[in-house]
């Protein structure tokens, strides 16, 4: 009995001691200990200890769900709302997720966003499109693959390239240490944000200090491919004032120092490229240079290894009287150098862009009034080394909006002013007459725009039903046209778990300086095949590309830790524009005995026999920015799943299926048009008005000596002679029994040999005779204007007569657009087995695509890219990490004629105080 | 496949348990408030009534905490409030975040009635409630409006005021 009593007393004492120990050591308890506590134990604790427990618990799971699955977003309605209630297709990428993912820069971080296609061009440089509509028009300059229909902003300040359209991502002055979140709106949103929000909006929101303590965010990493990068920001609130200063730097190398040369269809060493004696694979190309021989390789590239070399610095000052009255003033500078796909039309696929810019941005809020005024001024050299591409730019934006709130009714009128200035004169050399002629603009260009908007947002039925109507009227100074993008939205929130929404909206692109005011003459003599000159003209009267979109969305939250979102979209985009030939002049000889420049744009010159289209040599082609008939009709759907399985395991997956049909598509490009113009000019010259549809006004004869000889000077004649020489030799060898392939290869080796020189001398003699004989080459100048519809009829007639072959390229048809992958998506898994350790794995996939530019078609194979970052918090929130981008080192090119990709492996640290 | 299903089910079960744990802590705070507040004499007899506006998982958590417990001599009763007009009869009215749009009306109905109105949405203490749950640097905390407490006829002890964020 005594033993039992002693035993009971001992057990009671131990239990009591353990209980006492728990109370005494609340600060030492783990989250698991707290979770395991009973109601009785918790209820008996003093409230001070309960509060201490909440500190140990940190962020509650409820809050974790809200933070991860229902983030606040402002870009969808220009005011804060939960993303679950957002009336548009929106995604918020938080700072924490960006850092956890290991993305190296903002562009790469966008791989975490549903509906965005991110393709790497060179290491750290990306092509980014929302939902697609890329590479339209195709068969044209590579510059038209740039995305000029997505509005990218920093704190609602537009940062797109006002000269060509599109976004130079490397020129953004901010980096991760600055960013609070990135908000992405998919779909047409010009009614809310103005021009260029056609396929969507990317709004980068920077941090605002929220503590009287100094807050420091820093990130640094380095690895292979010459990669080292870092960003640091320091901020603090001091009473009602606050400040934040930041800086960032990034350097990454390409995976090779060679450059892809189109004519050679291969990567070439830069020394070979500048060697004037280098033999191209195609002998017909051997007589022109990759680029202007007056420039050295160093003029074009500081070096050919660097992919990205950029820096930025920012200062932000804040004053917050209260929630209703607050102001911020930001300023910063950036400088960047990247090697990426060229905005010009050189024989290499990659050229260098250099940017610098300084900005100031004022944002003020006084009650319902929101004011924003900003200016960006800097210099863009979008093809380093090529005169004419370096332009000073200044962009000014002033906006004012007011939020009227009448219960559940919100009315938001707004007024907007923008002034864009571009000037290339400071970087041009004057001609002998003292005029500027070597630039794209040769002038100081100004484009102003005024806009007014009204947005009405009404909630009814206990705030479950929401109706939104938005309309904007925008007038650009380039023409009398007024653009009226609109937005109509209806959403119904059944409860916290189900939300449906529908959107009808339209959005337009804005006029860019090059599209509107180009005045550029490209003298190709001795550099490129015919024509000798090409002149580019802007067009103030063209319509800007406009999208009309319908979208249906359904968000479901089957459990508090899961959100699934479906969005189905259908859109039609029309009034695409591009540079197309408008008219040309051609030299035509009427007896066609000697030479026929039948493939002028690729420089093939060969002799021909009668009957034939009369030989013609294109002299000058005038190109003009024009609207094209093609309509892009896209139908697609995106599904997005976010699942916070536990506080240690977060899973995301998303994918977009889409199909784009091009209606009224015609299969011609600048080269085919110039060829056809040349052919028809010759037909016109030889047959007068014999072909229906070609007016006599298009044809006139000039005396040979006075007209042609002056223009067909040494460079042009030498090109013709070299081409004819090749063809004569090839013909002789084929007569001797060689195959064409063998003959071409043989001739390619013959330049400079005795045989070559003899034949070349004969050709030269023919040309000399032609100079004397008004009946030789050429004897007339014909002027030809381009009209696709008329060309279709004319070429059909000529084909019927057996004069030409015609494949119906001017006939409108409907085709499937293959440049946008039919499926693209990604996933991420963030696993935190212990509080200090984070493993973030992410992957991206896209299906096959075919790009088409004037350089041909490029097949991009399906690709899956895997990334992983493992970080360990060594002290508080400060972590060391290892990071693998393209972890499996998949080499497949992601963008046409740009670099292969490689794995990039880095180590670094994340700081957070 | 079976393993995958089992894992899936386990995760959902675990998730459900964690949710309950979150509600548990909010309920715990509400229960602890009863020990740091002073109600008018007229409400110091009978049952101590805690009402939750509409359906909420917190109701069951509150019942679990308060079972067999008292406030002084008063037995604690937890009920779901079906109509705003009933609010004045309670000692504590908890308004879940999803029902926050009713706070103004509730506040008017409990003026000088000896009711602590507890809310769970940013800005509610400034608007109408006596105590509002907030997250302070990611941690569960609460803000107290002395003005609204006074208007509603209840008084907070100094120790509670020292723990929460007091707003004017």
User: Of the candidates A43, A48, A560, which has its C-beta nearest B28's C-beta?
Assistant: A43
Mean pLDDT of A878-892: 94
Domain edges within chain A: 2-45, 69-257+305-415+434-509+544-575+631-665+825-877+894-912, 580-628+667-801
Mean pLDDT of A63-82: 67
Please tell me if residue B14 touches chain A, with a CB cutoff of 8 Å.
yes
Nearest CA in chain A to B32: A47
Residues of chain A with Cβ-Cβ distance to B18 below 8 Å are 35, 61, 646-647
Residues 97-126 of B with CB under 8 A from A: 98, 101
**Does residue A249 have a pLDDT over 90?**
yes
Distance from CA of A905 to the nearest CA of B (A): 32
CB pair distance less than 8 Å for B29 and A47: yes
CB pair distance less than 8 Å for B163 and A51: yes
Cα A255 to Cα A104, A124, A227, A278, A305: the distances in Å are 16, 11, 11, 24, 8
Distance from CA of B19 to the nearest CA of A (A): 7
CB pair distance less than 8 Å for B36 and A35: no
Mean pLDDT of A690-700: 30
- For residue A142, the model assigns a pLDDT of 85
Mean pLDDT of A824-853: 93
- For residue A225, the model assigns a pLDDT of 94
**pLDDT tens per residue across span A730-744:** 767 777 888 877 887
Cα separation, A849 vs A821, whole angstroms: 5
Q: Please return the burial class of A714, using the count of CB atoms within 10 Å of its CB with bins 0-12, 13-18 and 19+.
A: exposed
- Closest of A582, A498, A634 to residue A186, by C-alpha: A634
**Does residue A712 have a pLDDT over 80?**
no
Residues of chain A with Cβ-Cβ distance to B15 below 8 Å are 559-561, 644-646
Q: Which one is the CATH code of A69-257+305-415+434-509+544-575+631-665+825-877+894-912: 1.20.58.100, 2.40.170.20, 3.40.1710.10, 3.40.50.620?
A: 2.40.170.20
**pLDDT tens per residue across span B44-85:** 889 999 999 988 888 988 998 888 888 888 999 999 998 899
Mean pLDDT of chain A: 82
CB pair distance less than 8 Å for A53 and B25: yes
Contact of A377 with A347, CB cutoff 8 Å = no
Mean pLDDT of A551-563: 89
Please tell me if residue A58 touches chain B, with a CB cutoff of 8 Å.
yes
CB pair distance less than 8 Å for A62 and B22: yes
Place of tokens 């105590």: B131
How big is chain A, counted in residues?
913
- For residue A795, the model assigns a pLDDT of 86
The upper half-sphere exposure of residue A177, i.e. CA atoms within 13 Å in the direction of its Cβ, equals 30
Cα separation, A18 vs B14, whole angstroms: 28
Mean pLDDT of A595-617: 37
**Does residue A666 have a pLDDT over 70?**
yes
Residues of chain A with Cβ-Cβ distance to B32 below 8 Å are 47, 50
**Does residue A899 have a pLDDT over 50?**
yes
Distance from CA of A41 to the nearest CA of B (A): 10
Higher pLDDT, A74 or A128: A128
Long-range contacts of A714-719 (CB under 8 A, 24+ apart): A715/A525, A715/A526, A715/A532, A716/A525, A716/A530, A716/A532, A716/A617, A717/A767, A718/A287, A718/A526, A719/A287, A719/A288, A719/A526, A719/A529, A719/A530, A719/A603, A719/A605
**pLDDT tens per residue across span A19-47:** 434 444 677 776 667 766 777 888 888 88
CB pair distance less than 8 Å for B28 and A42: yes
Q: Is A20 helix (H, G, I), strand (E, B) or coil?
A: helix
User: Of the candidates B14, B32, B64, which has its C-beta nearest A47's C-beta?
Assistant: B32
Question: Best residue in B12, B21, B104 to probe A by mutation, most A CBs within 10 Å?
Answer: B21
Residues 446-475 of A with CB under 8 A from B: 462-463
CB pair distance less than 8 Å for B15 and A646: yes
Most confident of A87-96, A357-366, A516-525, B48-57: A357-366
- Closest of A132, A133, A104, A100 to residue A120, by C-alpha: A104
Q: Report residue B63 as tokens.
A: 């019942």
Tell me, what's the ipTM? 0.83
Nearest CA in chain A to B134: A63
Contact of A463 with A496, CB cutoff 8 Å = no
Contact of A490 with A501, CB cutoff 8 Å = yes
**Which of A235-244, A393-402, A418-427, A691-700 is predicted least confidently?**
A691-700
Residues of chain B with Cβ-Cβ distance to A60 below 8 Å are 22, 25, 140
**Does residue B147 have a pLDDT over 50?**
yes
- For residue B35, the model assigns a pLDDT of 86
CB pair distance less than 8 Å for A59 and B35: no
Class of domain B23-167: alpha beta
């Amino acid at each position: 009995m005594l033993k039992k009593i002693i035993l009971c007393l001992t057990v009671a004492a131990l239990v009591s001691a353990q209980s006492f120990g728990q109370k005494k050591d609340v600060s030492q308890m783990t989250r698991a200990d707290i979770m395991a506590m009973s109601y009785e134990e918790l209820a008996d604790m003093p409230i001070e200890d309960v509060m201490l427990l909440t500190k140990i618990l940190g962020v509650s799971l409820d809050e974790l769900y809200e933070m991860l699955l229902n983030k606040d977003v402002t870009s969808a309605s220009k005011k804060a709302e939960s993303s679950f209630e957002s009336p548009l297709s929106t995604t918020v990428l938080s700072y924490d997720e960006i850092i956890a993912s290991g993305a190296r820069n903002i562009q790469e971080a966008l791989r975490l966003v549903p509906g965005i296609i991110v393709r790497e061009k060179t290491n750290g440089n990306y092509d980014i499109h929302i939902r697609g509509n890329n590479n339209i028009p195709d068969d044209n300059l590579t510059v038209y693959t740039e995305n000029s229909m997505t509005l990218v902003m920093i704190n609602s300040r537009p940062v797109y390239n006002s000269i060509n359209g599109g976004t130079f991502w490397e020129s953004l002055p901010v980096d991760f240490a600055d960013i609070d979140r990135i908000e992405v709106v998919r779909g047409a949103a010009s009614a809310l944000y103005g021009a260029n929000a056609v396929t969507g909006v990317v709004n980068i929101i920077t941090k605002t200090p929220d503590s009287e303590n100094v807050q420091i965010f820093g990130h640094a990493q380095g690895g292979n491919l010459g990669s080292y990068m870092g960003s640091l920001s320091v901020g603090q609130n001091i009473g009602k004032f606050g400040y934040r200063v930041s800086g960032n730097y990034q350097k990454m190398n390409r995976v090779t120092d060679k450059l892809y040369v189109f004519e050679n269809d291969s990567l070439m060493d830069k020394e070979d490229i500048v060697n004037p004696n280098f033999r191209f694979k195609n002998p017909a190309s051997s007589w022109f240079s990759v680029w202007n021989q007056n420039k050295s390789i160093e003029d074009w590239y500081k070096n050919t290894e660097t992919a990205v070399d950029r820096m930025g610095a920012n200062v932000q000052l804040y004053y917050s009287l209260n929630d209703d009255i607050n102001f911020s003033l930001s300023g910063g500078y950036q400088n960047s150098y990247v090697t990426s796909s060229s905005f010009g039309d050189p024989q290499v696929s990659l050229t260098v862009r250099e940017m610098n810019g300084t900005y100031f941005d004022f944002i003020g809020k006084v009650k319902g009034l929101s004011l924003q005024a900003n200016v960006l001024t800097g210099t863009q050299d979008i093809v380093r080394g090529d005169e004419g591409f370096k332009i000073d730019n200044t962009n000014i934006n002033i906006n004012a909006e007011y939020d009227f709130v009448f219960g559940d009714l919100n009315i938001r009128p707004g007024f907007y002013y923008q002034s864009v200035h571009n000037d290339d004169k400071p970087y041009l050399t004057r001609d002998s007459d003292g005029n500027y002629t070597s630039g794209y603009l040769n002038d100081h260009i100004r484009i102003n725009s005024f806009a007014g908007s009204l947005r009405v947002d009404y909630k009814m039925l206990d705030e479950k039903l929401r109706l939104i109507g938005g309309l904007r009227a925008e007038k650009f100074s380039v023409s009398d046209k007024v653009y009226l993008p609109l937005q109509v939205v209806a959403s119904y929130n059944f409860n916290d778990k189900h939300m449906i929404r529908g959107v009808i909206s339209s959005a337009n692109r804005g006029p860019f300086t090059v599209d509107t005011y180009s005045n550029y003459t490209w003298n190709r003599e001795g550099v490129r095949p015919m024509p000798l000159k090409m002149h580019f003209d802007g067009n103030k009267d063209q319509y800007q590309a406009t999208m009309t979109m319908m979208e249906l969305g359904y968000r479901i939250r089957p459990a508090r830790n899961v959100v699934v979102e479906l969005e189905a979209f259908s859109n039609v985009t029309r009034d695409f524009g591009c540079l197309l030939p408008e008219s040309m002049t051609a030299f035509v000889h009427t007896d066609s005995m000697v030479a026929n420049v039948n493939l002028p744009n690729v420089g093939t010159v060969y002799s021909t026999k009668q009957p034939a289209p009369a030989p013609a040599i294109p002299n000058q082609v005038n190109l003009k920015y024009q609207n094209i008939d093609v309509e892009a009709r896209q139908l697609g759907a995106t599904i997005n799943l976010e699942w916070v399985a536990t506080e240690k395991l977060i899973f995301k997956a998303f994918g977009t299926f889409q199909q784009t049909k091009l209606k009224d598509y015609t299969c011609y490009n600048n080269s085919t048009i110039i060829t056809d113009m040349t052919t028809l000019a010759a037909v016109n010259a030889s047959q007068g008005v014999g072909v229906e549809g070609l007016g006599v006004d298009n044809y006139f004869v000039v005396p040979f000596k006075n007209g042609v000889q002056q223009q067909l000077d040494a460079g042009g004649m030498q090109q013709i002679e070299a081409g004819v020489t090749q063809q004569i030799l090839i013909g002789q060898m084929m007569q001797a029994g060689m195959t064409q392939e063998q003959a071409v290869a043989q001739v390619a080796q013959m330049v400079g040999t005795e045989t070559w020189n003899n034949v070349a001398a004969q050709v030269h003699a023919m040309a000399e005779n032609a100079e004397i004989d008004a009946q030789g080459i050429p004897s007339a100048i014909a002027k030809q204007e381009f009209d696709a519809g008329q060309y279709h009829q004319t070429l059909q007639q000529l084909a019927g007569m057996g004069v030409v072959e015609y494949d119906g390229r001017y006939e409108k048809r409907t085709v499937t657009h293959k440049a946008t992958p039919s499926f693209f998506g990604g996933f991420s898994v963030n696993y935190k087995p212990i509080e200090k350790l984070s493993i973030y794995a992410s992957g991206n996939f896209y299906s096959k695509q075919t790009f088409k530019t004037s350089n041909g078609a490029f097949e991009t194979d399906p690709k899956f890219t895997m990334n992983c970052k493992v970080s360990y918090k060594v002290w508080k929130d400060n972590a060391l990490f290892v990071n693998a981008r393209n972890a499996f080192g998949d080499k497949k090119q992601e963008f046409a004629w740009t670099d292969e990709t490689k794995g990039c492996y880095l180590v670094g640290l994340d700081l957070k105080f | 496949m079976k393993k995958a299903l089992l894992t899936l089910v386990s995760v959902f079960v675990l998730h459900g348990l964690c949710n309950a744990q979150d509600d548990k802590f909010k309920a715990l705070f509400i229960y602890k408030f009863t020990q740091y507040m002073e109600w008018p004499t007229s409400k110091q007899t009978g049952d101590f009534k805690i009402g939750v506006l509409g359906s909420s998982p917190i109701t069951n958590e509150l019942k679990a905490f308060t079972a067999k417990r008292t406030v002084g001599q008063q037995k604690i009763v937890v009920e779901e409030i079906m109509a705003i007009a009933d609010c004045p009869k309670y000692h504590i009215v908890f308004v879940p975040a999803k029902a926050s749009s009713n706070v103004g009306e509730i506040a008017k109905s409990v003026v000088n009635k000896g009711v602590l109105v507890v809310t769970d949405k940013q800005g509610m203490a400034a608007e109408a409630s006596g105590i509002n749950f907030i997250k302070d640097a990611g941690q569960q905390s609460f803000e107290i409006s002395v003005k609204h407490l006074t208007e509603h006829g209840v008084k907070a002890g100094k120790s509670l005021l020292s723990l929460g964020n007091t707003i004017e």
